[in-house]
Structure 1
């Protein structure tokens, strides 16, 4: 009983810390420009992705993200690229919600495996409750792109869930502190965008836009 109470207290403390960290702004004076490069933040309920144009402000991805890395190379002609960072085992082995297991979640939270970048070629997403548009100045956009690029590691990519996505070796380790959503928040902070100082949950990212 004491063990369960202790675990419950730890979970509550973690959730409370995440809510507080997400509510404290970084880059507090940032305001979006009237014109610039539009990027998107997408939320699927667990993961948040950053969606960037294939080419903008001198930033292109052709040297890193090759059409032949996709099961259907024709999908590389899409106008946008979605980037998500996370635990390798969780990403590669949970293509559907039915594949999620407590053991796999636990291993991810303690940093038991390597990380990957999940990259998908997509059309420009439609803005809605789970997709927010963020307009960036050219220098802010280049900083965001540089942050994302710096998180790629070395190694051959793995095919994704379908014809339009692939998994790439990533830098860093996943944990309860450094979650996929915390990574999204860190990327936006690196660009200079106003967002929470620690965003372990998707809602902590999305609430800012």
Structure 2
């Protein structure tokens, strides 16, 4: 009896590992299939462009944008009064999307539970995470991407469409003094992750990006590395 139980557990474990491997392979393949393959990033100095930044912590990606440009003033949508440290001279807002319980109940990775992960994978309510930054510096994990004005307007439209209507919008405390959460549209699940939201949002702007990008690496492999020197 004990032998059959151990054998069953072993096969179950192997089956789970197999599913993880298949999902990882599917994510790699899906993120390698390009959307907007003809897009070319504008060359700095040759035509007007807006510099955004794509951030990556290894698991999660975000889109950082200037707070004010001729195309969009984010101060009305994401007012600094919604965060604790509201008086700093912020220059950028960084926006990302994710599952409500996962975001709100895991301020650190130590707070992550299997129940939260499973619930998020099977379907959860979306929220936007918005962080305010002062002159974020480009790095290997925070790469610059240039958009033409019409492309940036399309990006703005896609991000704005993720928010719930103002009269129904919840403003929820962030992790620290500089960030905040807003209730958002969309359902998070294993096929529609935070990184897929980043991918879809960039695709809406016309940027070359993978078709299905559940992992951060699937997004970042399309964003040019920081130039050397």
RMSD: 1.3
Q: Per the alignment, in what secondary structure is the counterpart of residue 178 of structure 1?
A: coil
Q: Which residue of 2 aligns with 1:69?
A: 82
1:174-193 correspondence runs (5 A): 174-193=188-207
> Alpha-carbon deviation of 1:138?
0.4
Give the aligned partner of residue 165 of structure 1.
179
Runs of 4+ in 1 over 3 A off after TM superposition: none
Answer yes or no: is the 8 Å Cα contact 2:71–2:149 preserved in 1.
Answer: no
Quick check: 150-159 or 197-206, which moved more? 150-159
Give 3-state SS (helix, strand or coil) of 1:82's partner. Answer: strand
Aligned residue among 108, 112, 130 for 1:96 = 108
Distance of 1:52 and 1:189 partners within structure 2: 16
Q: CA deviation at 1:115?
A: 1.4
* Aligned partner of residue 187 in structure 2, secondary structure: coil
Maintained 8 Å contact 2:106/2:112: yes
- Max radius of gyration: which structure? 2
Q: Contact 1:93 / 1:99 at 8 angstroms: preserved in 2?
A: yes
- Aligned-pair CA distance for 1:10: 1.8
| TM-superposed deviation, 1:40 | 0.4
Structure 1 residue 81: Cα displacement: 0.2
Give yes or no for contact 1:71–1:159 (8 Å, CA) kept in 2. Answer: no
Query: What is the CA–CA distance in structure 2 between the aligned matches of 1:125 and 1:70, rounded to whole Å?
Result: 18
Equivalent position of 1:132 in the other structure = 143
Hey, what's the Cα distance between the residues in 1 that align with 2:71 and 2:203? Answer: 21
Distance of 1:190 and 1:104 partners within structure 2: 30
Q: 2: distance between equivalents of 1:26 and 1:182?
A: 13
Instruction: Give the Cα separation in 2 of the matches to 1:205 and 1:105.
Output: 21
What are the ranges of 5 or more consecutive residues in structure 2 without an aligned counterpart?
1-9, 224-229
Deviations 1:16-72 (A, max 9, x none): 110001111111111100131000000012110000000113211222212221122
- The 2-side partners of 1:192 and 1:124 are apart by 26
1:14 aligns with 2:27: no
Candidates 110, 119, 132, aligned match of 2:130: 119
Counterpart of 2:64 (choices 30, 51, 60) is 51
Tell me the secondary structure at the aligned position of residue 17 of structure 1. Answer: helix
TM-score (ref. length: structure 2): 0.86
